[in-house]
Amino acid sequence: MNIHKNAKLTPSGRALIMERYLAGNAPSAIATSLGVSVVTVYKWLRRFREEGEAGLTDRSSRPHHLQTTESPGQVEQIKQLRKQRLPLWRIAAKVGLSLATVARRCRALGLNRLPPLNPPEEVVRYE
């Protein structure tokens, strides 16, 4: 992780909290000396108790999983209705999803534009 220049606590600062706590200092005194809140000190103490040294490192803010709002049956229904050249707002009303969700799914399926839905017409040339 990249730590910005004004960060109050880096992994070494969090280790300093543990050292001072294990040396017998009160959490309020540790918080005052490091310029953080008492709640922050207790948070890092709890993480250290639960996870050990690994709990003092930075964590990713990325979500563990993303919510999917549509079922596979709804995706198939969107696909079939779009191939019938229905507008996105009408598909959204029929399927029961938001317009943004239907538009996102159609774009993922490659069905967001109507001209690609029609096969190219053959050129008839007379000789």
Concatenated DSSP letters of 7-29: -S--HHHHHHHHHHHHTT--HHH
pLDDT of residue 20: 94
Residues 78 and 103 in one domain: yes
On whether both 78 and 104 belong to a single domain, the answer is yes
Tell me what pLDDT residue 19 has.
93
- Tell me: do 22 and 50 sit in the same domain: yes
Amino acid at residue number 35 = G
State yes or no: pLDDT of 90 exceeds 70.
Answer: yes
For residues 62 and 38, is the Cβ–Cβ distance under 8 A?
no
Domain that holds residue 42: 11-56
Structure confidence at residue 57 (pLDDT) = 87
The pLDDT value recorded for residue 39 is 96
Give me the number of domains the chain comprises. 2
Residues 50 and 85 in one domain: no
pTM (whole model) above 0.75: no
Q: Supply the mean pLDDT for the chain.
A: 88
- Is 82 inside a domain boundary? yes
Q: pLDDT tens digits for 24-63?
A: 999 999 999 999 999 999 999 999 999 998 888 888 888 8
Give a yes or no: residue 104 inside a domain.
yes
Nearest to 97 by CA among 81, 83, 84: 81
Query: In terms of domains, do 78 and 111 share one?
Result: yes
Structure tokens at 85: 């050249």
Query: Is 48 contained in some domain?
Result: yes
| HSE, side-chain direction, 13 A CA sphere, residue 80 | 8
The whole-number average pLDDT for the span 1-11 is: 77
